[in-house]
Amino acid sequence: MVGGFSEAHVRRVMWRAGFGASAHEATRWAHEGRGATLRWLLSPNGHKAPLLPGPKPMALDPANEYGHDVLWWMDRMVRTTRPLEEKMTLFWHNHFATRDVDTPLLLRQNAVFRAGALGSFPALLSNVMEDPATGSFLNLIGSYKDEPNENFARELMELFTLGEGDGYTESDVREAARALTGYVEGEKAGGVLLSTRFEPKNHDPGVKRIFGHKGRFGPHDVLRLVVANHHHPELLVRKLWSFFVDEPLDTSTRLRLQHVYTGSGHHLKPVVAEILDHPKLYANLDGPTMVKAPVVAIAGMLRATRLGVKVDDWTWVTSGMGQELFSPPSVAGWEWGPAWMSSNGMRMRFVAANVALNQPGLKVKDGDTPLDLKPQQQLDRAMAALGHPWASARTREGLLALTKGYDAMAGQKWQRQVAADMTQRAMRHLLLSAPDAQVH
């Protein structure tokens, strides 16, 4: 431990900024310290292949096979050597939520999010505006000077940059919609749209009035105006904070983060760096409080257990838990936090443990468990198999108590082996499915 940075700190920041830490990572980064850990997260070396060599996933065809888009992305989350970049890609997928367009378009949009994950917000916003998935979903493509479609303009202000009703009026939405006219379909390959194109003759060249400014504004002027609107930094800072931290954002911290954001020329990395370094991210280290989002819970489990993405069940499991990647419920994205914890979502987390424990590597076959292990040895064995997940003292006591009950049930000699295997199976399941497993 260097400078008050323990393995618990490493596990916390690796979960929040990524998908958890292995035992090896926890030791290594606690030794190297806070500064080195955050530098590694924020500025990973320029690996050409940012994926760990193993565990290799099943054969995937993300563009064509049902559900493989989800599996493909989850595999990246499991094997990435740049966890923060992947986590921020998930942030942008939620922020610029898009659904109901062809999968190849969504995969291309995903690459846009990843490339701009921690860069300049205006640059990312511009790429998103010209992205064919966004343009299709929010009717920017085909919005024509005589009949401007307000869909993109409205969500741009309401969800992407300002917040509902903050700093804009209905008139601003209509005028921005005029300024945003002119996009049409660009290149296509095999019936799939590859790009959008700005067609000047479809654009309304007239004078518009947006946020009190007058001019012959075009699409990029609209983006410039919304980013310059003084309501914008607060929206973005609040959203980033609550993605990483579940403690309230106090005013002085918020103002400082807004200052960092605008002072950097609207770059994301300095703001995220401040958040990851903030003491509130490390609150309650002995009892985590933030609910794991479904894909984060599953990717983290597959990473810690070294199972990898070997079965296609993870598509419907994560969907049943309430988060179907590439299909957010609406352009507003998912509702995060305790809202994930419906009892139905919880039941699917129980099912997720069933699916995991049915796979080679975690499955306990009859006779696998040595006889005469003490309860604590059983628990240590289960913890090691799962990559040492967090479990409260109360949960560990409950698991030890279960062992005693099983021992009492195993009257005859042949049942001692059954009891040993059942103990191991039940412990592993409960370590993955009980309430403690759902928070980080």
Interacting positions 184-223 with other proteins (CB under 8 A): 191
**Among 22, 127, 139, 242, which residue sits at the site for other proteins (rule: CB under 8 A)?**
139
| Nearest distance from C-beta of residue 364 to other proteins, angstroms | 7
**Among 85, 130, 158, 274, which residue sits at the site for other proteins (rule: CB under 8 A)?**
158
Q: Residues 6 or more apart from 309 whose CB is under 8 A from it?
A: 57, 58, 60, 71, 74, 75, 78, 302
Q: Which is nearer to other proteins, 31 or 174 (CB)?
A: 174
According to the 3-state scheme, what is the secondary structure of the chain? CECCECHHHHHHHHHHCCCCCCHHHHHHHHHHCHHHHHHHHHCCCCCCCCECCCCCCCCCCCCCCCCHHHHHHHHHHHHECCHHHHHHHHHHHHHCCCCCCCHHHHHHHHHHHHHCCCCEHHHHHHHHHCCHHHHHHCCCCCCECCECCCHHHHHHHHHHHCCCCCCCCHHHHHHHHHHCCCEEECCEECCEECCEEECHHHCCCCCEEECCEEECCCHHHHHHHHHHCCCHHHHHHHHHHHHHCCCCCCHHHHHHHHHHHHHCCCECHHHHHHHHCCHHHHCCCCCCCCECCHHHHHHHHHHHCCCCCCCCHHHHHHHHCCCCCCCCCCCCCCCCHHHHCCHHHHHHHHHHHHHHCCCCCCCCCCCCCCCCCCHHHHHHHHHHHCCCCCCCHHHHHHHHHHHHHHHHHCCCCHHHHHHHHHHHHHHHHHHHHCHHHHEC
x/- mask, other proteins, residues 240-259, rule CB under 8 A, reads: ------x-------------
| Nearest distance from C-beta of residue 105 to other proteins, angstroms | 9
Q: Which is nearer to other proteins, 54 or 279 (CB)?
A: 279
| C-alpha atoms less than 13 angstroms from C-alpha of 400 in its C-beta half-sphere | 12
Is residue 382 classed exposed, middle or buried when 0-12, 13-18 and 19+ CB atoms within 10 A define those classes? buried
**Among 248, 265, 287, 367, which residue sits at the site for other proteins (rule: CB under 8 A)?**
287
By CB under 8 A, tell whether 88 contacts other proteins.
no
| Nearest distance from C-beta of residue 303 to other proteins, angstroms | 20
By CB under 8 A, tell whether 411 contacts other proteins.
no
| Nearest distance from C-beta of residue 139 to other proteins, angstroms | 6
| Nearest distance from C-beta of residue 418 to other proteins, angstroms | 8
**Among 224, 306, 310, 425, which residue sits at the site for other proteins (rule: CB under 8 A)?**
425
Q: Which is nearer to other proteins, 261 or 334 (CB)?
A: 334
**Among 74, 88, 112, 138, which residue sits at the site for other proteins (rule: CB under 8 A)?**
138
| Nearest distance from C-beta of residue 45 to other proteins, angstroms | 34
**Among 27, 169, 330, 377, which residue sits at the site for other proteins (rule: CB under 8 A)?**
330
> Restricting to residues 1-60, which ones interact with other proteins according to CB under 8 A?
none
Tell me the two tokens of residue 78: 């499991």
Which pairing describes strands 183-185 and 196-198: parallel, antiparallel, or unpaired? antiparallel
By CB under 8 A, tell whether 81 contacts other proteins.
no
By CB under 8 A, tell whether 150 contacts other proteins.
yes
By CB under 8 A, tell whether 395 contacts other proteins.
yes
| Nearest distance from C-beta of residue 362 to other proteins, angstroms | 10
> Restricting to residues 335-354, which ones interact with other proteins according to CB under 8 A?
337-338, 341-347, 350-351, 353-354
**Among 6, 22, 81, 103, which residue sits at the site for other proteins (rule: CB under 8 A)?**
103
Torsion of CA 16, 17, 19, 23, to 10 degrees: -90
By CB under 8 A, tell whether 290 contacts other proteins.
yes
By CB under 8 A, tell whether 385 contacts other proteins.
no
Q: Which is nearer to other proteins, 378 or 438 (CB)?
A: 438
Q: Which is nearer to other proteins, 107 or 115 (CB)?
A: 107
> Restricting to residues 300-329, which ones interact with other proteins according to CB under 8 A?
313, 316, 319-320, 322, 324, 326-327, 329
x/- mask, other proteins, residues 360-379, rule CB under 8 A, reads: ---xx---------------
Q: Which is nearer to other proteins, 82 or 178 (CB)?
A: 178
Residue count, binding to other proteins (CB under 8 A): 87
Contact 280, 245 (CB under 8 A): yes
| Nearest distance from C-beta of residue 52 to other proteins, angstroms | 26
| Nearest distance from C-beta of residue 27 to other proteins, angstroms | 26
| C-alpha atoms less than 13 angstroms from C-alpha of 59 in its C-beta half-sphere | 2
**Among 80, 89, 136, 258, which residue sits at the site for other proteins (rule: CB under 8 A)?**
136
